[in-house]
């Protein structure tokens, strides 16, 4: 053996390298077990493995002995240790990387084979590692690591930047490049096809444990998922009954034609042609609907096949020795196929685990069912709810996915907070508004000594349904303590109350005390009381995102799905609410009062219905309540019906929901015929607007005479006589210029309804004391063509009152009205503002 070869052999043995070819790994040892990987659902493409990363810094050495099996030594990131692997989460796609240390030796320039050596054995490579990893350099690094086994690293990469560079001086096969391009193109098409699949947003109730309150919190979340092909073909669940009815009708028509078509050859031929055409259309429709799914399925079969082919071509390009042996090529191809098969199995297992997780989340449906069992009345209207949802979803298409199932619809249209939290939210907001109203009303006693008080006061109020829809849409199952700060912020943004002092210099000396014949100056002190308010809807809208706004709009239509009690009337009583639940200024005492009910101002003698099954525990006169019925049902539910004119049940009697139990009256502490209706659950008073059925279908907000609104009768009754009209106008004109103050009934300040009621009552034309909605309820609708002086004119949406009619004036003819504006004044009804808010004309009977 030549001396230089002997010396090399000794050096190799000192390093632990194999002595000759018999000690070196064989060709069959080519990377049959070190391929690691996983398939990504979204990125199954294999990126260009020949893209060369940035060149290493000077001094970092790479030897062609490190290149093996298609891989190359990749310099470690300066942010990782030399032997750290790339985490799977940092990889963008799923491509295969073959072993760098499989043991194949590459020929050098003179045809002799260099012995394989690793960076742990080669001094220069070891230096590169320690420099990159930050480990101090050692002179004996090669000797100290003699014979050490290099740690195993995964052989997969998922991005171009982590692809091993090709061997320096090596030639990449054109076939490998072309195969990789085809695989990448197919993978890109698969990504696009998956993104094009139809999706749906499914509502799900998520429960979390609140450690501070030691109770479960519920939150409605929307999860986006790909629609199944079956669901996409069947269409929207809410429209399926309509489609089924249509198909049944078509099928019935075909059946009838088939029964008689044999009597006429022409009819039979035409019918068969029609059936054939319908079948073709159905096939074409099905093909069109399933095209995205078929494209994904085709590409999912194609991409792995092209990836395997590209990996195989790359292996041949990076391992020239494989080309010379058909058995090695076959082994490498089988190895790649087995690896892809293993990855596919793991992907299926992952999918099964995801399916099990979805099944576990299906228990949410059971929890929702439990919620419905606790609120049984909700299911009484489930059929009506489904019908309403169909109508709603056709007009609010962006919300159609909210009701993909019955349980999902119930959850998406329900107030999810606890009863106490719902009650507190409404109570505190009404209390803040009542305190604000009292400050305005008591300005003169709070700031005495001024010569004049000038008022510029906007309306005070919010819609109860708006408040709860906002809180549910934004916070889901909220706790009052968690939303109190937001409510206070909304209140402060909605209302601004200021008291501003102003001093005017005036002149007077009627007795000429100075005997100079001149007027003497003096100071006139004025307190300006200014309340500016914004719409509650305007304030809350910017606080919600698009999804929350959609949820809010749906809740506004369904009204929360939390009804314990049925309706006390057979009609929609929501427009007849004259006083709401919560804090208010008492109409008799003028003091701050917690009103535990809603007052429903309907005609004397109107029949009152039991809101639920139960036993009458009280039926008699009870002081301020007047004649009252107390009905106790199951699960701690109690309802009260007060100020009745007549009781039709007795104590101890069992009644069913819908039975007539009394008639509306004005007994006890009452200012007029109405029903005082209370709902109590487990000893807690609740807002009947949330917890009782109102029979409201939204039609009350449609102006009379409009499509969907009530009809305007051709003859609304005789108009006001000349004498009555003259008396009414004489009284109304006395108050021109007087300031508007919300809730004021006169005589020095008025709100809109206070001014009209005062003018009607003091003139002797009509005795009434109510709000704008109550005045409308007392009227017969009149068309503009038939409107006469003395009729009333009504407007809607001028502020958040929670009812359709929010403003009223007295019509004086020729497009003019007199009303409590700011101040009491004449106004044209044809201005842009009043035209936009116009609701109806109305005529009081018996004038």
Strands (E) across 433-547 are located at: 452-457, 495-508, 520-533
Strands (E) across 247-340 are located at: none
Q: How far apart are CA 183 and CA 314, in angstroms?
A: 12
Which of 35, 9, 34 is CA-nearest to residue 24?
Answer: 9
Q: Which residues contact 3 (CB under 8 A, 6 or more apart)?
A: none
Q: What are phi and psi of 841, to 5 degrees?
A: -95, 150
What single string gives the DSSP state of each residue in 30-78? Answer: SSSS-------SS------TT---PPPPTT----GGG-BTTB-PPPPPT
Q: How far apart are CA 559 and CA 480, in angstroms?
A: 19
Structure tokens at 86: 């790339």
Q: How many CB atoms lie within 10 A of CB 542?
A: 8
For residues 690 and 564, the answer to whether their CB atoms sit within 8 Å is no
Question: Given this model, what pLDDT does residue 129 score?
Answer: 37
Q: How far apart are CA 164 and CA 76, in angstroms?
A: 11
Q: How far apart are CA 824 and CA 758, in angstroms?
A: 13
- Say how many residues make up the chain: 847
Q: Which residues contact 540 (CB under 8 A, 6 or more apart)?
A: 466, 470, 490
For residues 399 and 554, the answer to whether their CB atoms sit within 8 Å is yes
Residues 404-436 pLDDT 10s: 445 456 667 889 899 999 999 999 999 999 999
Encode 254-287: b = buried (16+ Cβ within 10 Å), e = exposed.
Answer: eeeeeeebeeeeeeeeebeeeeeeeeeeeeeeee
Question: Given this model, what pLDDT does residue 199 score?
Answer: 83
**Separation of CA 3 from chain center:** 83
Question: Given this model, what pLDDT does residue 698 score?
Answer: 80
CA angle 468, 474, 477 (to 5 degrees): 70
Question: Given this model, what pLDDT does residue 782 score?
Answer: 94
698 burial level (CB within 10 Å; 0-12, 13-18, 19+): middle
Helices then strands, counting H and E runs in the chain, come out as 24, 25
Give the bridge partners for 219, in sequence order. Answer: 206
Q: How far apart are CA 814 and CA 828, in angstroms?
A: 9
Q: How far apart are CA 163 and CA 91, in angstroms?
A: 11
Q: How far apart are CA 59 and CA 70, in angstroms?
A: 24
Q: How far apart are CA 787 and CA 817, in angstroms?
A: 12
Which of 197, 198, 186 is CA-nearest to residue 300?
Answer: 186
Q: Which residues contact 806 (CB under 8 A, 6 or more apart)?
A: 459, 772, 773, 795, 796, 797, 798, 799, 837
Q: Is 737 left (phi over 0), alpha (psi -120 to 50) or beta?
A: left
Question: Given this model, what pLDDT does residue 73 score?
Answer: 38
Q: Is the pTM of this model over 0.75?
A: no
CA angle 669, 671, 672 (to 5 degrees): 115
Q: In order along the chain (847 residues), what is the average pLDDT of each group of 10 residues? A: 50 48 39 36 38 40 38 39 38 37 39 39 38 39 40 45 45 76 88 85 73 71 77 66 63 66 62 67 76 85 82 73 59 68 66 50 48 50 53 49 50 86 95 94 93 92 93 93 95 96 87 74 93 92 92 87 93 91 89 94 94 96 95 94 96 96 94 94 95 89 86 90 93 94 89 95 92 91 94 93 91 95 93 94 83
Secondary structure string (H, E, C) spanning 588-600:
CCCCEEEECCEEE
Residue that has been written with the tokens 């009149």 in this structure: 782
């Amino acid at each position: 053996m030549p001396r230089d070869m002997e010396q090399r052999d000794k050096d190799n043995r000192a390093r632990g390298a194999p002595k000759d070819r018999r000690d070196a790994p064989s060709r069959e040892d080519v990377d049959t077990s070190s391929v690691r990987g996983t398939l990504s659902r979204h990125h199954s493409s294999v990126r260009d493995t020949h893209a060369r990363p940035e060149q290493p810094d000077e001094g970092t050495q790479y030897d062609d002995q490190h290149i093996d099996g298609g891989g190359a030594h990749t310099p470690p990131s300066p942010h990782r240790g030399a032997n750290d692997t790339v985490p799977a989460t940092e990889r963008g796609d799923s491509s295969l990387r073959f072993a760098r240390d499989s043991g194949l030796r590459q020929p050098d320039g003179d045809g002799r084979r260099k012995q394989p050596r690793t960076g742990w054995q080669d001094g220069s490579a070891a230096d590169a590692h320690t420099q990159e990893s930050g480990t101090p350099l050692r002179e004996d690094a090669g000797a100290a690591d003699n014979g050490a086994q290099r740690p195993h690293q995964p052989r997969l990469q998922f991005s171009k930047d982590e692809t091993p560079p090709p061997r320096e001086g090596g030639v990449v096969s054109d076939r490998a490049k072309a195969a990789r391009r085809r695989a990448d193109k197919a993978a890109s098409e698969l990504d696009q096809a998956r993104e094009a699949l139809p999706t749906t947003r499914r509502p799900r109730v998520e429960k979390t444990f609140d450690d501070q309150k030691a109770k479960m919190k519920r939150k409605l979340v929307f999860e986006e998922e790909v629609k199944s092909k079956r669901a996409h073909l069947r269409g929207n669940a809410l429209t399926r009954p309509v489609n089924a009815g249509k198909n049944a009708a078509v099928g019935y028509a075909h059946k009838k034609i088939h029964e008689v078509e044999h009597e006429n050859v022409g009819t039979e031929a035409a019918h068969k042609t029609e059936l054939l055409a319908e079948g073709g259309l159905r096939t074409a429709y099905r093909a069109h609907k399933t095209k995205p799914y078929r494209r994904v399925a085709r590409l999912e079969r194609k991409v792995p096949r092209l990836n395997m082919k590209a990996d195989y071509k790359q292996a041949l390009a990076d391992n020239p020795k494989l080309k010379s042996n058909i058995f090695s090529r076959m082994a490498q191809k089988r190895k790649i196929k087995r690896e892809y098969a293993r990855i596919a199995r793991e992907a299926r297992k992952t999918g099964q685990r995801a399916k099990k997780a979805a099944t576990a989340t299906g228990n949410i449906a059971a929890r929702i069912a439990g919620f419905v069992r606790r609120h049984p009345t909700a299911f009484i209207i489930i059929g009506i709810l489904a019908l309403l949802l169909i109508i709603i979803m056709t007009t609010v298409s962006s919300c159609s996915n909210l009701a993909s199932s019955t349980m999902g619809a119930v959850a998406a249209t329900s107030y999810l907070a606890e009863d106490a939290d719902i009650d507190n939210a409404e109570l505190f907001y009404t209390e803040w508004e009542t305190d604000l109203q009292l400050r305005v009303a008591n300005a003169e006693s709070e700031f005495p000594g001024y010569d004049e008080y000038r008022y510029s006061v906007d309306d005070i109020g919010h819609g109860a349904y708006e408040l709860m829809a906002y809180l549910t849409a934004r916070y889901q199952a909220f706790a009052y303590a968690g939303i109190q700060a937001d409510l206070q912020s909304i209140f402060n943004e909605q209302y601004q109350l200021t008291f501003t002092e102003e001093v005017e210099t005036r002149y007077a000396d009627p007795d000429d005390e100075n005997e100079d014949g001149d007027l003497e100056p003096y100071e006139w002190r004025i307190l300006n009381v200014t309340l500016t308010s914004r719409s509650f809807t305007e304030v809350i809208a910017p606080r919600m995102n698009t999804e929350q706004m959609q949820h809010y709009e749906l809740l506004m239509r369904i009204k929360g799905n939390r009804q314990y009690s049925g309706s006390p009337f057979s009609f929609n009583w929501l427009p007849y609410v004259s006083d709401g639940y919560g804090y208010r200024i008492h109409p008799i005492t003028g003091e701050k009062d917690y009103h535990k009910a809603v007052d429903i101002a309907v005609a004397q003698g109107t029949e009152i219905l039991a809101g639920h099954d139960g036993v009458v525990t009280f039926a008699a006169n009870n002081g301020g309540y007047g004649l009252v019925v107390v009905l106790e049902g199951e699960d701690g539910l109690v309802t009260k019906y007060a100020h009745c004119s007549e009781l039709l049940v007795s104590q101890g009697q069992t009644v069913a929901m819908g039975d007539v139990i009394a008639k509306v009256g004005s007994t006890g502490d009452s200012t007029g015929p109405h029903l005082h209706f209370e709902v109590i659950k487990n000893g807690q008073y609740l807002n009947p607007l949330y917890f009782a059925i109102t029979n409201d279908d939204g039609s009350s907000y449609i102006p009379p005479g409009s499509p969907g609104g009530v009809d305007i009768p051709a003859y609304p009754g005789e108009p006001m006589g000349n004498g009555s009209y003259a008396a009414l106008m004489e009284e109304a004109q006395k108050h021109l210029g007087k300031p508007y103050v919300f809730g004021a009934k006169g005589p020095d300040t008025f709100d809109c309804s206070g001014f009209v009621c005062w003018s009607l009552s003091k003139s002797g034309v009509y005795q009434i004391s109510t709000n704008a909605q109550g005045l409308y309820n007392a009227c017969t609708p009149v068309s503009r063509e038939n409107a006469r002086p003395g009729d009333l004119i009504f407007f809607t949406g001028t502020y958040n009152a929670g009812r359709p009619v929010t403003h009223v004036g007295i019509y004086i003819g020729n497009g003019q009205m007199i009303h409590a504006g700011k101040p009491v004044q004449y106004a044209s009804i044809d201005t842009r503002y009043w035209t936009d808010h116009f609701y109806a004309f109305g005529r009081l009977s018996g004038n």
